[in-house]
Structure 1
């Protein structure tokens, strides 16, 4: 009887450990099974999810509660063009950085999540990076800055 109780207790402890290790806070960015990489801006590393398909680009960060402080989403496009963005389905504010040839070419800062505006700068880009609102100013990201991938 004692051995059975010990086994059950050990099993419950293992199960509790698994649950705690995999617990997800809905306010933390969840990469799920998405491709991700590290990018560096102004000396700061960001863990970004890559939106490299039409479907991923349409969904973007919409519907999520938030993301970790130095996380983001990097939209990649096969060729340079004008790329318009809007805040459909967003639940948190963003900074959006348009990138061409590894350099920031346009930045929209502190965009409210409920903005109905479409952001379509008169620049061509092959990538667009979305970060938490305020980070562009907070770490001093400016047009012309390099954005490196690791």
Structure 2
């Protein structure tokens, strides 16, 4: 039940940010700053990921983006291991999300349709979520148990 409460709280904060600040057509100042990037590895594959380590950046995610290069993604860092959930409101790209444990191993991968409010959740407590273009993990043969190298080094930066 705690995950549903957390999701609803985040949903409420996002609504307040968007509606209260009148930001329908533009992003807030903190969202206009480029996010730090990190190189990750999965098997023989290289991933260039933007890092969303703060609540503000996690809430914005990949919203309003029209495209993303094939080997690029976004790594969400969470301050605690929980059954985190993702959703696709205002996200234009179809995405796959891999939920990762504290060591960076994939717990589960979920396929997400653009512009929906469906919950896509970790099967067990996760510390990271890695979003890539839809089908990326499947096309590379990467699934539960696969190590995403480099993620675990970022744990101290989650806020």
TM-score (norm 2): 0.70
CA distance in structure 2 between the partners assigned to 1:138 and 1:83 by the alignment: 24
Q: How many residues align?
A: 119
Q: Secondary structure at the match of 1:102?
A: coil
Corresponding residue for 1:108?
110
Match of 1:84 in 2: 85
Provide Cα deviations, 1:23-42, integer angstroms capped at 9, x if missing partner: xxxxxxxx962111011113
Question: What residue is the counterpart of 1:144 in the other structure?
Answer: 145
Aligned residues: CA RMSD:
1.6
Gaps of 5+ in 1: 1-30
Q: Deviations over 1:102-140 (max 9, x none)?
A: 10001113x211333111233100000000001111111
Unaligned runs of 5+ in 2: 1-31, 152-159
Q: Tell me the TM-score normalized by structure 1.
A: 0.74
In our comparison, the structure showing a higher alpha carbon Rg is 1
Task: Report the alpha carbon displacement of residue 79 of structure 1 after superposing the two structures with TM.
Answer: 1.9
Greater strand fraction, Structure 1 or Structure 2: 1
Misfit runs of 4+, over 4 Å: none
